Amino acid sequence: MADTKREVFLEVKNLRITYETKQGKVKAAENVSFRIHRGEFIGLSGESGCGKTTTALSLMHLLPKEGKVEEGVILFKGENILDYDTKKVEALRWRDISMVFQGAMNALNPVHKAIDQMITALRIHEDVTEQEAKERSLELIKSVGIDPARATSYPHELSGGMKQRLMIALALVCHPSIIIADEPTTALDVMVQAQILDLFNQLRDRTNLSVLLITHDLSVLAETCDRIIIMYAGRIVETGRTDTIFTMPEHPYTKKLISSFPSILVDKEIDFIPGNPPDLINPPSGCRFNPRCDFAVDRCRQEVPPLECENGHCVACWRRHEF
């Protein structure tokens, strides 16, 4: 599925993003580069605070005002969208690149019926009649597995799972070619989570949609994604095909992350990574994982390891080939 010959239609190169704070500049993302092909499902994972949401927001031009893209290029269909003015960004957002935000299901406007919110969203972006907008909205509501009879419900009358389906329907309303889903199942029960992931899988079978699925729960990505990106402290440390990442991880952080994941299928001793992720105002020099890495040597503390690729499996570790 992850056919590299397929059309690359989103490419991020050397992205560097900072946030201005009272305590200093937070180096939230650095040297972030990746590609998304048409129809591909990419997983982005790593512990809280590693820069996942920051990266996602930059793709939508939605960083908060203290956030700044200091460097880098985001190529969408060959154009650098970071150069776009407000008008071009608005034309792109929701219609080409769409997003389901973290915790968004609580962001539905409580005083409007679900369907009305969709009709409004659609009519802001496209020149359609009320009737057309209504028909398309109902179609979408059905496609995400909500009984059309519930379309006229108010958000508080819907369960968490239904609200999340609705957010996905809203994100799909203008037929985007890529949807970014930030922790779309984190607050949901396992059965509802499985239903939502199943919905993403159905969408992939029906359309040529690409999905960037962001979650700190790596196991959620195993059954859904073609490729996985692992971030640590603002940098990508490893990317590769899903099976490669899970069966042959090479970065010490990814290895630890996977071995720390409890699984109901095996009897695993509890494992964890001692210590905490670093403060991104003053991150460690060299490899940012070095203070927690069992294999760190002097070079790791001095020089930043580049993300190097072999057969599509990219790893940023000086000692990759030593173990």
Least Å distance, CB 289 to ligand SF4, is 5
From another protein, ligand SF4, none, which one binds at residue 103 (CB under 5 to 8 Å depending on kind)? none
Angle at 217 between CA 216 and CA 221, to 5 degrees: 110
**3-class SS of residue 117:** helix
Lookup: tokens for 139: 């179609």
Whichever of 46 and 176 has its CB closer to ligand SF4, that residue is 46
Rounded Cα gap, residues 249 and 254, in angstroms: 6
Binding-site string for another protein from residue 226 to residue 255, where x marks contact by CB under 8 A and - marks none: ----------------xx--xx--------
52 binds ligand SF4 (CB under 6 A): no
Among 118, 287, 307, 314, binds ligand SF4 (CB under 6 A): 287
Selected binder of another protein within 23, 110, 131, 272 (CB under 8 A): 272
Q: Which does 93 bind (CB under 5 to 8 A by kind): ligand SF4, another protein, none?
A: none
The CA distance from 117 to 120, in Å, is: 5
* Phi and psi angles of residue 33, each rounded to the nearest 5 degrees, phi first: -135, 135
Query: If contact means CB under 5 to 8 A according to the sort of partner, which of another protein, ligand SF4, none does residue 276 touch?
Result: another protein
Structural element, H or E, at residue 214: strand 210-214
Q: What is the DSSP letter of 278?
A: P
Q: Which is nearer to another protein, 160 or 312 (CB)?
A: 160
Binding mask 247-276 for ligand SF4 (x = CB under 6 A): ----xx------------------------
Distance of CA 301 to the CA centre of its chain: 29
Distance CA 51, CA 67 (A): 12
Binders in 29-88 for another protein, by CB under 8 A: 47-48
Cβ closest to ligand SF4, residue 108 vs residue 315: 315
> Binder to ligand SF4 among 97, 230, 289, 307 (CB under 6 A)?
289
Using CB under 8 A as the binding rule, whether residue 24 contacts another protein is answered as: no
How far apart are the C-alpha atoms of 295 and 291, rounded to whole Å?
A: 10
Subset of 160-199 contacting another protein (CB under 8 A):
160-162, 189-195, 197-198
CA atoms within 13 A on the CB side of 205: 8
CA distances from 289 to 227, 235, 267, 317 (A): 22, 10, 28, 9
H or E stretch including 72? strand 67-76
Choosing from 121, 213, 300, 314, the residue that interacts with ligand SF4 (CB under 6 A) is 300
Number of H helices, E strands in the chain: 10, 12
Query: Within 5-61, where are the H helices?
Result: 52-59
* Number of residues forming the site for ligand SF4 (CB under 6 A): 13
Residues contributing to the site for another protein (CB under 8 A): 47-48, 159-162, 189-195, 197-198, 216-220, 222-223, 242-243, 246-247, 256-258, 260-268, 270-274, 276
Residues contributing to the site for ligand SF4 (CB under 6 A): 251-252, 287, 289-290, 293, 295-296, 300, 305, 317-319
